[in-house]
Chains A and B, each alone.
Chain A
Amino acid sequence: MSTATATYEGLKPGTAAKHAFFSAVVWLCIGTSFGFFTSLRIAWPDLLNGVEVMGPLTSAFAFGRVRPLHITIVIFGWISIAFVAAMYYMTPALCNCRLWSEKLGVWNIWLWNVGLVVGGLSLIMGANSGREYQELIWPLDIYVLTAILGLASINVFMTVLQRRTQGIYITVWFFMAALIMLFMTYFVGAIPDLFPVTGLNEAYMVWWHAHNVLGLWITPVSAAIAYYVIPKITGNVLYSHKIGHLHFWTIVAFYSTPGAHHLMGAPLPEWMKSFASVSGVMILIPSLAFITNMVLTVQGKWNMFSSNVSLQFALTGTLMAVPLNFQGAFQQTRAINWYIHGTHWIVAHAHFALLGFSTFIEIGATYYAIAKLFNRKIYSQSLATTHYWLTTIGFVGFWTTLTLAGLIQASGKVYNTTFIDVVYATHPYMVGRSLFGLTIVLGQWIFLYNMYKTATAGEPVTEKNAPATVYYT
């Protein structure tokens, strides 16, 4: 089986992916728990202040320090590690070979975990770059670019180079392209940290980065994972490779261009805002291409939606992309943006993208891959269904309360209401968000437990190459 360049050093195929999936799920639990904690601080600001036992921790758990921690952990811990886990699992499978180096993969994941622990500690100790979504300080930026992204990219690219298939499947194009694009994006975001770039130019780079961590990394890789998981589980072939091409090239060409739509209220030149706004609406092309392709792939197999948790999660995530992208495309036009900018509406939208769309698809992939990697059935089907409903109900409630709160804030702007009255009026919604958030958090801890039990005590599947459906009975 082995090829000349491969290095295995006593590690079984799939070891790196196993380490990666488990790290990702652990970070998911930690990250959402911190999100819950920050939400409490918005509803009850002085929670824990003045409590004797807290001591020096009072400053570490201040709202302004834990919020970046939540964002960094869910984006760079959960979502990104889950992506690389999927790459370590799916790339060899699609290229009909082994991962180039399992050892490098395991090292990569542990360097990543160490980086996140150091990064998390630095954030709560107050070392903050002051640039949203890019809050790690520059020594850590360099670490992210080399030890984290660099190593992961080498492994994925070398695996593709030693493939034993003729063509390259769409999932793998996206993996490779997204690794390059994320590297560039992260680098642009780090430029103001590393070089003397100031003023609006800096703000623009920071928001270009923030936009493209989503546009050139999270969106395409989530889609790539769906392109693998959904055909694999349903047993249908991908509906159309041509639509896949359309999706891929439109993402590369103009998903990155609307960076300035985050700065619609800032004194940027008009042409930049108009350009961003128009190219932002074009984002509908790749997203609709993707959704169409996926929904048509499931043709004739919709009954599996209720019997297969992976598919349930992956398809729910995919369908969420419909309202998500319409919301995104229109809220960044100037006609609407001035109304909802800076309100809780935006926070609701951010969770729509990262929780509703991306996280759902990755959870689907995680159920699928962990069962396959350990060759065991999912430990508890009912816990998995519980996880699905806790996450879904939690998310829908979370999104609804925040969107309503956002509309209250927005109308406060229009009617010139005293600011503090608006703060007060949104308080019940903040409490509601915490409750729904707690629902989500509970779901994720159940998920971790279920995955751990699957790996250690799930019923073994004996036939090699058993169809995916066997893992769910």
Chain B
Amino acid sequence: MGGYKEYKIGVIMFLVVFAASMFMTIGLGGVYLAKIPATQLALSKQVHYGSSAWSIKDPLMKGLNQPMVTKRGKSFNDPVGVGKKIFIREGCWHCHTLLPEQSMDWEYFGAPPLAGDFVGESPTVIGSDRKAPDLMHIGSRMPSVAWHLQHHKDPRSVQNKSIMQSFDFLDKKELKALAKYMVSLK
């Protein structure tokens, strides 16, 4: 390859410029965000959700490896955590957001979260597309588990103009977990 242009300067410049650009955004931003302390809400979410991300131990995302709770001497997966996992699996977050915005949502969907409210939660599924109401405070708006059960099974039975599909294909336990998760979102 003798006599060919080698583009050494170009290659070095490319690496330097790209690294600098990544450092400024991912590096500086990431360090700042990692230092945000957890709020009380974040701690309680950590207890209930555990890890809601996909894992080899739970390949079909049925919520098998959520934190355990004990009731009347029996231990089972925390339904709130299981519900969150189903929320992720069924892509509810492609219609609903979990993030009232700082600009305008106060009146309708309630107060926007604090930065520390998300610490330890993964994935956050805050969503970007709002074809449907924000759910961050749904537990305060709709505190009844029975309402959620009915709504998830057949949304048009409670709201005839809804474009939410019915989730009647979920089994009883999953529907219950989903409703408990909704109600937990105060």
Contact = CB atoms under 8 A, between A and B. Distances in A.
Interface in B103-161: 103-104, 107-108, 112-115, 117-133, 155-156, 159, 161
B98 to A, nearest CB: 10
A168 interface: yes
B92 interface: yes
A132 B128 contact: yes
A343 B162 CA distance: 17
Contacts of A49: 165-166, 168-169
A195 to B, nearest CB: 10
Contacts of B7: 168
Contacts of A203: 118, 124, 126
Q: Give the residue among B18, B52, B54, B115 with the most A Cβ atoms within 10 A.
A: B54
Contact of B122 (A59, A64, A198): A198
**Number of chain A interface residues as a range:** 35 or more
Contact of A198 (B54, B107, B120): B120
The secondary-structure label for the interface of chain A is helix
Contact of B92 (A64, A188, A268, A416): A64
A4 B125 CA distance: 52
Interface footprint category on B = 35 or more
Contacts of B60: 125-127
B91 A204 contact: no
B166 A46 contact: yes
Contacts, number: 211
A457 interface: no
Interface in B57-100: 59-61, 88-95, 97, 99
A200 B115 contact: yes
Contacts of A427: 163
A203 B127 CA distance: 10
Given A262-B128, A268-B115, A419 B53 contact: no
A138 to B, nearest CB: 7
A342 B33 contact: no
B40 interface: no
A50 B173 CA distance: 20
A167 interface: yes
A400 to B, nearest CB: 18
Q: Point out which of B52, B118, B169 has the most chain A C-beta atoms below 10 A from its C-beta.
A: B169
A114 interface: no
A181 B26 CA distance: 14
A353 interface: no
Contact of B121 (A199, A338, A416): A199
A344 B56 CA distance: 35
B44 interface: no
A267 interface: yes
Contacts of A167: 5
Contacts of A192: 53, 122-123
B104 A338 contact: yes
Interface in A19-69: 41-43, 45-46, 49-50, 58-59, 62-65, 67-68
A268 B124 CA distance: 14
A1 interface: no
Contacts of B162: 45, 420, 423
B164 interface: yes
Interface in A140-184: 161, 163, 166-168, 173, 177, 180-181, 184
A199 B128 contact: no
B123 A342 contact: no
A346 B129 contact: yes
B123 A129 contact: yes
Interface string B15-30: 0011011101110011
Given A45-B165, A63-B165, A68 B159 contact: no
A31 B23 CA distance: 35
Interface string B24-44: 111001101110100000100
A414 B60 CA distance: 41
A246 interface: no
B139 to A, nearest CB: 17
Interface string A244-280: 0000010011101101101001111100100000000
A428 interface: no
B145 to A, nearest CB: 22
Nearest to A60: B169
A338 B100 CA distance: 12
Nearest to B13: A249
Given A59-B169, A167-B5, A272-B32, A342 B129 contact: yes
Interface centre among B89, B108, B112, B168 (most CB of A within 10 A): B89
A203 B122 CA distance: 9
A128 B91 contact: yes
A50 B168 contact: yes
A338 to B, nearest CB: 4
Given A128-B54, A342-B130, A343-B130, A204 B30 contact: yes
A131 B130 contact: no
Given A129-B53, A338-B103, A253 B21 contact: yes
Contacts of B97: 342
16 contacts: A50-B168, A64-B93, A127-B54, A132-B93, A184-B18, A184-B22, A199-B42, A204-B33, A205-B30, A256-B21, A259-B25, A260-B29, A265-B101, A265-B102, A419-B108, A420-B161
Given A184-B22, A266-B126, A269-B115, 14 more contacts: A45-B162, A45-B163, A126-B89, A129-B53, A132-B93, A161-B1, A181-B18, A199-B33, A200-B36, A200-B124, A201-B30, A267-B102, A269-B32, A419-B108
**Would you list the 9 A-B pairs with minimal beta carbon distance, nearest first?**
A64-B91, A265-B101, A342-B130, A130-B123, A199-B118, A338-B103, A130-B88, A198-B122, A45-B165
